[in-house]
Amino acid sequence: MLAHAILSPEKGDIVASGSPGQQAREQYERNIQRAMDGTATSQDEVPDQVLDGIGSGGMPLEWSVQELLEE
């Protein structure tokens, strides 16, 4: 039994994946790369707090705040 497994998109096979911590770190890095794609900015130019916010994937606003902003 695999403790952590994913379905391989290339072959449709089940393959072992990293630990949940490793998966979270990889997702964090993908979020940052996706946000910076197409910009002329390097990660070294961006404050760590901004990278943390981008990497976390964010959280939705509370409904009342979102509604107020959309008015």
Say what the pLDDT of residue 44 is: 93
As for how many domains the chain has, the answer is 1
- The span from the CA of 43 to the CA of 55, in Å, is 12
Least confident of 7-11, 29-33, 63-67: 7-11
Q: Which residues of 13-32 are buried (b: 16+ CB within 10 A; e: fewer)?
A: eeeebeeeeeeeeeebeebb
Domain with 61, as residue range(s), is 5-70
CB–CB of 18/4 below 8 Å?
yes
Say what the pLDDT of residue 2 is: 47
Kindly report, residue by residue over 8-29, the tens digit of the pLDDT: 556 666 556 678 888 888 999 9
- The span from the CA of 66 to the CA of 60, in Å, is 9
Q: Nearest 10 degrees: CA dihedral of 12, 14, 19, 24?
A: 20
